[in-house]
Amino acid sequence: MSEAREAIIIGAGHNGLVAAGLLARKEIRPLVLEARDHIGGMLGDQSFRVSPMPFSLRPEFLRALDIDLPAVPMATLVASPSGKTIRVSGNRVEGCDTADAEAYEQLARRLARQAEALSGMLLRPPPSLDGNSFRELLSLARTGLKLRGLGKTGLRDLLRIALSNVHDLIDDEIGDGPLGALLAMDATLGGAMGPRSPGTVLPLLYRMTANAGQRMMPAGGPTALVKALASKVETAGGEVRTNAPVKRILVEDDRVAGVCLESGEIIRAPLVLSTAAPGTTLLEMLGPEYLDAEFVRRCRKMASAGMVARLDFELSAAPALADGTQLTASDRLVIAENAAAVEAAFNAAKYRGLPERPVMEACYDAGRGLLSVSAQFIPCNPEGGWTKVLRLKLEKAVKGEIARIIPDFSKLVLSTVLMTPQDIETAYRVPGGHWHHGEFRIDQLLMLRPFDGASNYRMPVEGLYLCGAGAHPGGDISGAPGFNGARAALAGRRR
């Protein structure tokens, strides 16, 4: 038995739903296939609904889908050496020395201006390295005008720092300390690079492109965002189906013909967009036999070593920091003493070891009494593997660091759920358990994302497109890969 559809989207995460929504608005009724029993990808998972992951869903995308979803500003909290809580909201700092606050605010405003100049690159596909179409030249011209708007001094400053490491930027501009820890975490979260790694300023700028660097949370949380996106898809005639894992992408006469589910069901369609990781899509679902040998080699060499573990702590009472500050749903807590501590955690992970003092960020959901933690620089494949002893060691180390700023934290914990990068890899079919489906490093950004020769969303087999976090501009919660991938698919249909 088989059925026919106009388009199939693999994965009902936020990127898949954004792509489906755009296709549906253009009167192409997509079928969205989700392997798990719920939609939303990691945002729909019980372990990720209280998520401190960077939310930067572009308002342009929401307007294009006719979605009106207010956003709530989030504050970032970090503890000072004295135990006093420092609160950062956008470019404003409270709770620390005036000179430190002014230095941070000045740097944050500067970075926000530079990020805004780069933001147009996120709304459009990256320019081709060998393309010279009018559309590509116009795109480059628009970006050039924005960059020129920085002025000679601003542009020189951007060129100076963009490819440098964030640790040097911190040392030069604000000095290391709690605010340095915040910048170091934002520059490296989700990846396998430490603050001293070259090119770590660019991911920081990427994360500041939306809302002038102000972190935002959709009103109602991630669940509200997922529901709004899915509702638009279905209202426009699309369908979202869960418990429908795709086994193979079908090819006939050198073009996509549909998919085969793990159940054996065949669904035919001339257009397939995949939010799965590039390697999963191209090497497992499609198969290397349909691809050029060099293309396959580049895909296999793509760096995707995940280094984030998730821990959910069910608490008996609301947590309070050492100075009495209560965590709220609009707060994000960063636990790291300084940028040097972030680098030390990375150094351990480089050699497949656990950091003695993990660095992390967390959010609290009072309704469920849940503190959700993202522990950074936890290797996917540690020396000796993820034994029960090692899992307990990680839990203990994370609890210990939290207890430094939340007194009696261990007494509040009722239960703990741990997802290592390896667990994430298994649950979501993401190589290495990498949040972004691939490193945010110089050779995997812009026209080189996910890898050279695969940056325009359109794959070598006609009718197949990438639209997940592995595609330009990358991960976090922006919706840009889904939006851009759908636009590329629409352009392909018009040819």
* Three-state DSSP string of 143-174: HHHHHHCCHHHHHHHHHHHCCCCHHHHHHHHC
Ranges of each domain in the chain: 2-69+218-303+435-494, 91-211, 308-428
What is the model's pLDDT at position 3? 81
Q: Does domain 2-69+218-303+435-494 have CATH number 3.50.30.30?
A: no
What is the model's pLDDT at position 53? 52
Selected residue with higher pLDDT from 303 and 56: 303
What is the model's pLDDT at position 49? 46
Percent of the chain with pLDDT over 90: 61
The alpha helices in 322-407, defined as continuous H runs, are: 339-350, 388-405
| Neighbouring C-alpha atoms within 13 Å toward the C-beta of 403 | 13
Show the tokens assigned to 268.
């035919």
Integer CA distances (angstroms), 156 to 116, 159, 204, in order: 16, 5, 18
What is the model's pLDDT at position 345? 97
* Collapsed DSSP state (helix, strand, coil) of residue 75: strand
The dihedral sign for the CA sequence 278, 280, 285, 288: positive
- Using left for φ > 0, alpha for ψ between -120 and 50, and beta otherwise, residue 22 falls in alpha
Lowest mean pLDDT among 114-118, 273-277, 314-318, 404-408: 114-118
Give φ, ψ of 388 to 5 degrees: -60, -40
Q: Please, which residues have CB within 8 angstroms of residue 242's CB and are 6 or more apart in sequence?
A: 12, 34, 36, 37, 38, 39
What is the model's pLDDT at position 378? 97
Which position has the token pair 């660019």? 202
Pairing of the two strands 239-241 and 216-218: unpaired
Residue 7 has pLDDT above 90, yes or no: yes
Percent of the chain with pLDDT over 70: 90
Give residue 170's pLDDT band: very low, low, confident or very high (50, 70, 90): very high
* Structural contact between residues 148 and 134, judged by C-beta atoms closer than 8 angstroms: no
Candidates 254, 225, 246, 281; CA nearest to 70 is 225
